[in-house]
Amino acid sequence: MGPCKGMRRWAAAMLVLFALPFSPLAAADERQELEALRATTLKLIQLLVQEGVLTQEKANALIKEAGAAAPPPSAQAKPAVRVPYMPQAVKDDITNQLREEVIATAKAERWADPGRLPEWADRLALDGDLRFRWQHDFLDKNNAPPAFFQALGQNINNTTEDRNRLRLRARLNVKAKVNDEVEAAIGLATGTQGSTGNPASTNNTLGDSFNRQVAGFDLAYVAWRPFGGMIDWGHRDALTLTGGRFRNPFLASDLVWAPDLNFDGVIAALRPSFGELWRPFMVLGAFPLKENEPDPTQPTRKNKWLYGYQGGLEWGYPSGLVLRGAAAYYDYRNIAGIPNTDPLNPNANDWSAPQFRQHGNTLFPINLAGNPALFGLASQFRIVNLVGEAGFRYDEFRRLTLTADWAKNVGFDSSEIDNRTGGVLAGLQARTNALQYRAQFGHVLIERRWDWFAYGAYKRVERDAVLDAFVEGDFNLGGTNAKGWIVGGGLGVGRNAWLGLKYTTANQIDGPPLAIDTFMLDFNARF
C-alpha cells in the first residue's frame, strides 16, 4: 500500500468521524460523544504531523475532505442514524490501532521514516583507497649523460642525479546496480591524465607550493549483461558488454600494461560455464587512442586505435589449486611515425608523433624544427601475449601464486621500416621480446593486523617488444629496453591498512649505459 492509499484510508476514517455529528436526529448526548470523538481525531492528526508521519498540508487536506463529506442541511428527510454510546476506552483503542497502522505503513514504504535511506541507496556501493609513498631513485654515476638519449628522441632528462619524492595516490569509486542487468560506475583518481600527463600512473608528486592535487575521472562506464543477473566477473555464464572508461579487462601481469592503466572504449566479455572445474573466457575490445579531426593540410591524418583480442581458460577450485592461461593479440593502428618529406608542407605528418611516450622504443625524427622536436615510432606494434598463472592455496587466507608472462611484437618489419623512414634506420635489428617471471606468497588481501605478503620477479623488456607509453613506471622509471629484478612485500598494521616495500633494479639492454634502482616505502589504506 503506497502513501496515497494510506491517505485514502485516513480520508475514509475522517469521513465517518466527521459526518456523524451532523446527523439532524442525533440525541444531544450522542452529539456530545461524537464531538468528543471528533476532537480526539483532530488531536491524533496533529500528533501525526508532529511526529513527521503527515505534513501539515496533508493534514489540512484530510480535514477539509472529511468535513466536505458531511451531508448538507437539506438532507432532513433521510432516515435517522442512531449511534450507540462508545466508551472512551474503545475510542482510545480505535485511535491507537489506526495510528499504529499508518505509521507501520509509512515506515515500510520509507515515506515517513527519517532514519532510513531511500530504496535507491541500497543499490550503490562505495569504495576507495589511498597510498602515501616515499620514493628514492638511485641513478648510477657511470650512466651516459642525458644528451646521448635526447639525441635519439628518448624522453630522459636526468641520468646521474639521485632523486627523493613524496607521492600520493587516491581513488574513490561509486558503483550502482541500475537493475539486474545493468551496472554503472564513476571513479575519481589522482594523476595528471590527459594530453599533459601519464596515462599509466595515478601518482601525484607532492611539492607544488601547496596547490591542490590534480584528479580526474578514472572510471566512467556502463556495463550491460543482456542475459540477466547482476554483473559479477565471478559468474562465468554471462555475456557482458561494457562501454566508457573501465579497468583493464584482460588477464595480464604488469609486463604489457601498467596496473594503474584504465582503458577507454568498448568491450565484449564472454564467460560461459562448463561445469565447476572448467571456466573459459573471451574478451574483445576496441579502444580509441587519438581522435584526429580531418585537416586538409595533413592529408594522411588518421585516427589511432587499439584492438584487443584474448581467449583463455581457468581450471580448478578457487579454494584449492587454480590454473589460468590466456593468449592475446593487441593490434595498434596508425601509430607508426611518418616522415615529413614535402618541403611545401613541412608539418603534414606531425600528427603521427605519439601523443605520450616514456622511453625505450626506437624513434626517428619527424620534425626537428618543431618546438619541441617531433619523433615518431619506428616500428608498427602488433603484440602477441601469452600469460599463465598457477595459484596454490596454503590455508584459508594465504596463497602461493606463480606467474609467467611473454610478449612479442610481430609487427616489427625492418624492410617496412626502411621504406617508410627513407633508410634513416637502415640495418635496425629486431628487439621485440619481453618476459617476466613472478612469485608471490602470503595473504591475498591485507584485512587485519599482521597479515602479510611477499613477492619477487625478474623482468626483461626489449626496446620494441611493447609500447613504452603504457608499461608501469616503477621498474626502470617506466619504458622498455631494460632488464632486472623486483622484490617487495606488505605488512598489515590494522584493519585494511598496511605498509608496503618495493625495490627495483634495472639496467638498459641496448645503447648507452643506463642503470636505475628505485626504493619505495608506502602506507596504504583501503575502505
Strand ranges in 334-381 using DSSP code E only, listed in sequence order: 363-367, 374-377
Residue 177 domain-assigned (yes or no): yes
Are 161 and 36 found together in one domain? no
Q: How much is the pTM?
A: 0.78
Residue 117 domain-assigned (yes or no): no
Q: What is the pLDDT of residues 451-482, one digit of tens each?
A: 999 999 999 999 999 999 999 999 999 999 99
Are 76 and 199 found together in one domain? no
> Is residue 230 classed as helix, strand or coil in its secondary structure?
coil
Are 388 and 292 found together in one domain? yes
Residue 371 cell numbers, joined = 618546438
Total tally of structural domains belonging to the chain? 2
pLDDT of residue 8: 44
Are 138 and 63 found together in one domain? no
Q: How many Å from the N-terminal Cα to the C-terminal Cα in the chain? A: 38
Are 45 and 157 found together in one domain? no
Task: Determine contact, residues 216/169, Cβ cutoff 8 Å.
Answer: no
Share above pLDDT 90 across residues of the chain, in percent, rounded to a whole number = 61
- Choosing from 77, 108, 139, the residue where a domain stops is 108
Residue 444 domain-assigned (yes or no): yes
pLDDT of residue 16: 43
Helical packing angle, 88-108 and 3-19, nearest 10° = 160
- Give me the residues paired with residue 335 across strands: none
pLDDT of residue 370: 75
Eight-state DSSP code of residue 471: S
Are 407 and 478 found together in one domain? yes
pLDDT of residue 318: 75
Residue 115 domain-assigned (yes or no): no
Are 261 and 296 found together in one domain? yes
**Domain range for 51:** 3-108
* CA–CA distance, 223 with 235 (Å, rounded to integer): 14
Residue 347 domain-assigned (yes or no): yes
Residue 268 domain-assigned (yes or no): yes
Are 90 and 150 found together in one domain? no
Residue 362: CATH number of its domain:
2.40.160
pLDDT of residue 108: 64
* CB neighbourhood size of 495 (10 A): 13
Are 142 and 100 found together in one domain? no
Are 99 and 151 found together in one domain? no
Are 205 and 238 found together in one domain? yes
* CA–CA distance, 483 with 460 (Å, rounded to integer): 4
Residue 176 domain-assigned (yes or no): yes
- Choosing from 108, 140, 167, the residue where a domain stops is 108
* CA–CA distance, 304 with 164 (Å, rounded to integer): 36
Low pLDDT (below 50) residues in the chain: 1-27, 68-71, 73-77, 195, 230-234, 236
pLDDT of residue 319: 77
Are 350 and 482 found together in one domain? yes
If we measure between CA atoms, which residue out of 189, 207, 184 comes closest to residue 199? 189
pLDDT of residue 82: 54
Residue 218 domain-assigned (yes or no): yes
How buried is 311 (Cβ within 10 angstroms: 0-12 exposed, 13-18 middle, 19+ buried)?
A: middle
Buried b (16+ CB within 10 A) or exposed e, 152-174: ebbbbeebeeeeeeebbbbbbbe
